[in-house]
């Protein structure tokens, strides 16, 4: 996320660019096709700033360092996942998180489950106490 904050005029101007998928007050989302095209052109030797300028971006508005940052990140994604890396979402609910580096024994699984049970029981007890306090506060009114 950038330190720059886009005003309404700037957001509208960025949204009119066909290479932009969405704009918030601090972030620009780029179309996957633009990312693929930009990475391929960059790998052929074209500079990040030239790619963004030819694609209709105002570097004064988005920042002079933004093209370099974006292409650095996009090249890593391209090298790791290929073009598909830009088309599928790998963040959020669908992500399984960082996998465990070691397999758990049956004893470790049991300990982990017992700890989770204790945590959930404590959470339930807390919520019951909270509800009781809320009931008492309503009675006093």
> How does pLDDT run across 69-79, given as a tens digit for each residue?
999 999 999 99
More confident residue, 2 or 6: 6
| Residue 97: band (very low, low, confident or very high) from pLDDT cuts 50, 70, 90 | low
Q: Which of 113, 119, 11 is nearest to 61 (CA)?
A: 11
pLDDT at residue 12, as a whole number: 92
CA–CA separation, 53 and 47 (whole Å): 10
């Amino acid at each position: 996320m950038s330190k720059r904050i886009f005003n309404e005029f700037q957001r509208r101007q960025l949204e009119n660019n066909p290479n932009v998928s969405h704009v918030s007050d601090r972030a620009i989302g780029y179309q996957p096709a633009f990312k693929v095209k930009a990475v391929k052109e960059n790998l052929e030797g074209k500079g990040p700033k030239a790619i963004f300028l030819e694609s209709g971006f105002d570097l004064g508005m988005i920042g002079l360092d933004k093209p370099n940052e974006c292409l650095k990140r996009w090249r890593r994604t391209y090298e790791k996942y290929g073009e598909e890396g830009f088309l599928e979402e790998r963040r959020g609910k669908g992500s399984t998180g960082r996998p465990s580096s070691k397999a758990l024994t049956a004893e470790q699984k049991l300990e982990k489950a017992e700890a989770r049970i204790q945590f959930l029981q404590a959470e339930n007890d807390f919520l019951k106490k909270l509800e009781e306090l809320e009931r008492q506060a309503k009675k006093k009114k």
